[in-house]
């Protein structure tokens, strides 16, 4: 049980860090270009949200084997 909890929390932490990196990069792009339409790039993070939910619920936090 503890091992599964650690695996799931690690999977969530990695994806939260990746999301934060993406949002920060989009913010910096907005600051440089002053174009509010650049925020639409954040919709690509919805794919990450779907992948996170699949990884947590179906694979119990286990990463994909490529």
Instruction: Note the pLDDT tens digit of each residue in 24-57.
Output: 999 999 999 999 999 999 999 999 888 888 878 8
Task: For residue 8, name the pLDDT band (cuts at 50, 70, 90).
Answer: confident
Is residue 62's pLDDT more than 80? no
Nearest by Cα to 15 from 66, 32, 65, 64: 64
Identify which has the larger pLDDT, 63 or 31. Answer: 31
Domain boundaries defined on the chain: 1-12+34-60
pLDDT at position 66, please?
Answer: 66
How many residues can be counted in the chain?
66
CB atoms within 10 A of CB 62: 13
The C-alpha atoms of residue 11 and residue 48 are separated, in whole angstroms, by 12
pLDDT at position 57, please?
Answer: 80
SS3 (DSSP) at 54: helix
């Amino acid at each position: 049980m503890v091992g599964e909890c650690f695996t799931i929390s690690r999977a969530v932490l990695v994806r939260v860090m990746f999301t934060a990196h993406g949002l920060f990069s989009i913010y910096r792009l907005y600051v440089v270009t002053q174009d509010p339409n650049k925020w639409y790039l954040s919709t690509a993070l919805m794919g990450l949200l779907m992948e996170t939910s699949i990884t947590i619920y179906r694979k119990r936090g286990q990463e994909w084997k490529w």
